[in-house]
Amino acid sequence: MKLENTKAQMRKGVLEYCILLVLDGEPLYASNIIQALKEAKMIVVEGTLYPLLTRLKNAGLLAYRWEESTQGPPRKYYELTDKGRKFLTELEGSWAELVDAVGKIRKSRA
């Protein structure tokens, strides 16, 4: 078992959660999302984000609209749908439970 693999698996599980979190305020376009995720070291290569965005969109959790940009081509601005917000609320709950569970196990070991 490779450490890198396990790390990637861990990240993957929460990557979707993080994307939804980032979008939980104002609509953002891909570069903004990438910036946020990169700063938090959630992704290494940018290419990972695009398939995820498309899949979340196809699952009905995200929607996008085109917006003209002052420099260059129009940009795709993503935002949460109602379904996406509900999904996020549930994920928030699961995340809290997960952190709690891991915390308990770590404590009991110590």
Partner 1 sequence: MKKTFTINISGTIFHIEEDAYEVLQKYLVKLKNHFGSEEEGKEILADIEARIAEIFMDKSSDEKNVITLERVEEVISTMGTPEDFVEEEGGEEEVYTSSTKRKRRLYRDPEHRVVGGVCGGLGAYFNMDPVILRIIFVVLLIVTSIVPALLAYLVLWIAVPKAVTTAQRLEMRGQEATVKNIEKSIREEVKEVKESYKKFKESETYAKGKKKVEGAGEVTFSVFKLLLKVFVVIVGVVLIISGFFGLLGLISSLAIGHSLVQGWPMIWSPEINLPDFLNYLVEPGAVKLGIISIGFLAGIPLLAMLYVGSKLVFRYKSNNTAIGLSLVGVWLIALITLVTVSGSQVGNFKNQASVVESTTIDCDSCQTLYLKLAEDRYKGYAAHGWDLNKLKVVEVENGRVILGNPRLDVEKASGNSFLVTVKKFSRGRTRETARDHAEDLIYRFQQQDSVLFFEPYFYLEEGDKWRDQEVQITVKAPEGGILFFGEDMLDIIYDIENVTNTWDGDMVGKYWEMKPEGLTLKGAEALPETMQDSIPAKIE
Q: Which residues bind partner 1 (CB under 8 A)?
A: 4-5, 8-9, 11-13, 15, 30-31, 34, 43-48, 50-56, 58-59, 71-73, 75-76
Q: Which is nearer to partner 1, 1 or 110 (CB)?
A: 1
Residues 41/79, Cβ–Cβ less than 8 Å: no
Q: Report, in Å, the least distance between residue 29 CB and partner 1.
A: 10
Q: How far is Cα 80 from Cα 85, in angstroms, rounded to an integer?
A: 6
E strands, the chain, where? 28-29, 62-67, 75-80
Q: Report, in Å, the least distance between residue 32 CB and partner 1.
A: 12
Q: Which is nearer to partner 1, 76 or 85 (CB)?
A: 76
Q: Which is nearer to partner 1, 57 or 85 (CB)?
A: 57
Residues 61/51, Cβ–Cβ less than 8 Å: no
Cα 91 from chain centroid (whole Å): 11
Q: Report, in Å, the least distance between residue 44 CB and partner 1.
A: 6
As beta bridge partners, residue 65 has 77
Q: Report, in Å, the least distance between residue 72 CB and partner 1.
A: 5
